């Protein structure tokens, strides 16, 4: 699609997000060892650049690190105008001592 990825309304507050987003979990957690930070920052820059797909949605789970991905994303997006980016964070994921993944909706 010329001009970037199609956008849709999300929720009741008239927020428009790209239908395609960048999932960042594998950058620092979950799929082998963490990737080099400089390479991941370049990838995020490409994703939001005119050479990239012109999408606005970036997604990260809170279970990464903790907070490792959020810090990485913050470093990468310092130069991006805040109103052009939506960050979605998955929550309630837990990793037990056994390594098993589970969902926990407790408020703490």
| Residue pLDDT tens, the chain, 108 long | 455 678 888 888 888 888 888 888 888 877 788 889 999 999 888 887 765 556 677 877 766 666 788 888 889 888 777 777 888 776 667 777 887 777 777 766
Class of residue 88 by CB neighbours under 10 A (exposed 0-12, middle 13-18, buried 19+): middle
Is 2 within the bounds of a domain?
A: no
Is 34 within the bounds of a domain?
A: yes
**How many domains are contained in the chain?**
1
Is 65 within the bounds of a domain?
A: yes
Structural domain boundaries, residue 37: 7-103
Question: Is-above-0.75 flag for pTM?
Answer: no
Is 83 within the bounds of a domain?
A: yes
Is 71 within the bounds of a domain?
A: yes
Following CA atoms 65, 70, 72, 77 in sequence, which dihedral angle do they give, to the nearest 10 degrees?
170
Residues in the chain: 108
Is 1 within the bounds of a domain?
A: no
Sign of the alpha-carbon torsion through 88, 89, 93, 96: positive
């Amino acid at each position: 699609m010329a001009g970037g990825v199609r956008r849709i309304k999300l929720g009741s507050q008239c927020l428009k997000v790209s239908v395609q987003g960048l999932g960042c979990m594998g950058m620092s957690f979950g799929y082998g060892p963490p990737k080099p930070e400089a390479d991941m920052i370049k990838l995020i820059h490409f994703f939001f650049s005119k050479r990239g797909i012109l999408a606005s949605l970036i997604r990260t789970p809170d279970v990464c690190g903790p907070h490792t991905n959020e810090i990485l994303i913050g470093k990468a997006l310092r130069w991006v105008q805040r109103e052009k980016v939506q960050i979605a964070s998955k929550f309630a994921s837990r990793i037990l001592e056994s390594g098993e993944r589970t969902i926990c909706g407790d408020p703490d």
